[in-house]
Amino acid sequence: MNPDTLTWLLAAGVPIALAVTVVTAVVRRRSGTGIGPEGPTGPSAQDDGPGPATGTAVLDRSVEAPVGEAPPVEAPPVEVPEAAVEPELEVPAPVAGRLARLRGRLARSGSPLGARLLAVLSRDHLTEDDWDELEETLLLADVGAGPSADLIEALRTRVRVEGLRDPGQVRAVLREQLLALVDPTLDRSLNTTPSTAADGSHVPAVVLVVGVNGTGKTTTVGKLARVLVAEDRTVLLGAADTFRAAAADQLQTWGSRVGVHTVRSDRDGADPAAVAFDAAKQGRAEGVDVVLVDTAGRLQNKAGLMDELGKITRVLTREAPLAEVLLVLDATTGQNGLNQARVFGEVAGVTGIVLTKLDGTAKGGIVVAVQRELGVPVKLVGLGEGPDDLAPFDPEEFVDGILQG
Ligand code: GDP
């Protein structure tokens, strides 16, 4: 607007009050009324050149009001440009007690098992048919043939020796036997402690996460990063699943929510071993506690998988020893999951199992079967799609979850 506008309006015979109002309105619109990141004197208020999108929008709106039109009292609010807003970091839920918090989901999935076992065991005189029914119930819950037979045998002995009279006693004996099957003596701790190399340099704990695509691997790496952040660990992610286009983006999003960086390649199909190596190297240089490496899991060809994981392992161990190799298994896949476990067990030197989607199955018995199959403990369980729905596996909480309801 020309600075002489007021004079010009007055000369044209416009009443002074209206002329002043029009000029004031135009000036207010140009200044953005102070709403926005820069305040009334910021660049978006003064620059006529192209600026940030919203700054331009402010200028675009500052069309002079035609004479006689009632001036707006306030300019529309200016949106803050996204880039100017630091995303607020999320605070992950505490790790202690997570399984207790999520136990309801286990009960939903496990109650058919617990309730059916209790119902049969509470009958007055257990016949051979009853014992068959018990075994069938265990098999249907994916407990596996060997462990089911062991459990039946143990229960038969208890019944013969002690007799099972009141429901409280039935429950207590079943709890004890299920717990023995899940094996509370296994070491389920995650090795995430960094070490010191011979030359005195810092070596992060490198955790390699393997499993078939679709089992929840990337999600688990994201959730695990949150578990570690909740425990005040510093973490770096390595996106070595370079075959699934969105995997690196997905991982990066998980990390950025809790302030964890991701090492990735900028092109799909890059060598996963190179990305894993870069992540370990950067983790060393930055002095982080834990480097979590996500991998691709294509099972079409066992030799190919073996080559790929073998190469990743070799190059990673040049930088740091593997602290953990976690196999992610989808609990809803039953026998198929066990077959996968067998293959990965052979090729990857698995040290722990993460059983995902336990919230979506009545077959919690897979915990027992997979531990027997691989001889390694279930260390973590996924009980939902929420960011903090990953819990350290606790045998007692697990059995209580199955038996409640
Ligand atoms: P990946 O291909 O193995 O990396 O699998 P993704 O991490 O992409 O996960 C596949 C799907 O499984 C996603 O929709 C996840 O939200 C879902 N998922 C992962 N873990 C769980 C879990 O514990 N419970 C449920 N209900 N869904 C899960």
pLDDT, position 22: 43
The CA distances from residue 205 to 67, 85, 190, 226, 325, in Å, are 72, 33, 10, 16, 11
State the closest ligand 1 atom to the C-alpha of 212, by its place in the atom list counted from 1: 3
Query: Which residue, judged by its Cα, is nearest atom 17 of ligand 1?
Result: 216
In the reported structure, the alpha carbon of residue 196 is separated from the centroid of ligand 1 by a whole-number distance in angstroms of 35
**Minimum CA distance residue for ligand 1 atom 5:** 216
Helix (H, G, I), strand (E, B) or coil at 18: helix
pLDDT value of position 15: 54
pLDDT at 55: 27
List the 205-210 sheet strands across, edge first. 261-263, 235-240, 290-295, 205-210, 322-330, 352-356, 378-382, 390-392
This prediction's pTM = 0.78
| DSSP-derived pairing of the beta strands 352-356 and 378-382 | parallel
What's 393's DSSP letter? Answer: -
Q: Which residue has the tokens 């002079």?
A: 64
- Report the candidate in 221, 189, 197, 195 with the shortest Cα–Cα distance to residue 207: 221
| Burial of 55 from C-beta contacts in 10 A (0-12 / 13-18 / 19+) | buried
Among the atoms of ligand 1, which is closest to the Cα of residue 360? 26
Which residue's CA is the nearest one to ligand 1's atom 18?
A: 216
In the three-class reduction of DSSP (H, G, I as helix; E, B as strand; rest coil), residue 181 is classed as helix
CA 318 to CA 323: how far, in whole Å? 13
Smallest CA-to-CA distance from 258 within 83, 82, 88, 86 is with: 88
The per-residue pLDDT for 230 is 96
Q: Are 167 and 154 in contact (CB under 8 A)?
A: no
> In 3D, which of 217, 211, 204 has the Cα closest to residue 320?
204
Burial class (CB in 10 A: 0-12, 13-18, 19+), 254: buried
Q: Which two tokens stand for residue 161?
A: 């020796």
Q: Ligand 1 centroid to 7 CA: how many Å?
A: 70
Tokens coding 200 = 């005195």
Residue 107 belongs to what H/E stretch?
Answer: helix 103-121
- The Å distance, Cα 298 to ligand 1 centre, comes to 16
The encoded tokens of residue 181 equal 């099957």
Residue 192 to residue 228: CA distance in whole angstroms: 9
Mutation pick for ligand 1 pocket among 99, 105, 208, 219 (CB with most ligand atoms within 8 Å): 219
Distance 218 CA to ligand 1 centre (A): 8
Low-confidence stretches of the chain (pLDDT beneath 50): 1-10, 18-73, 75, 80, 110
Instruction: Output the residue whose Cα is nearest ligand 1's atom 13.
Output: 216
CA of 220 to the centre of ligand 1 (A): 7
Ligand 1 atom closest to 328 (CA): 3
Q: Which amino acid, 353?
A: I
CA 130 to ligand 1 center in whole angstroms: 38
Which two tokens mark 101?
């918090």
Alpha-carbon dihedral sign for residues 67, 73, 79, 80: positive
- 262 close to 221: Cβ distance less than 8 angstroms: no
What's the 214 CA to ligand 1 centre distance in angstroms? Answer: 6
Q: Which residues line ligand 1 (CB under 6 A)?
A: 211, 213-219, 356-357, 359-360, 382-385, 389
Which of 109, 254, 385, 390 has most ligand 1 atoms within 8 Å of CB, for mutation?
385
- Residue-level pLDDT at 40: 31
Residue nearest to atom 26 of ligand 1 (CA): 384
Cα–Cα distance measured from residue 347 to residue 62, given in angstroms and rounded to the nearest whole number: 67
**Ligand 1 centroid, distance to 184 Cα (angstroms):** 27
Structural tokens at position 210: 């393997």
CA of 277 from ligand 1 middle (Å) equals 26
Query: How do beta strands 322-330 and 352-356 pair?
Result: parallel
Rg (CA), the chain: 31
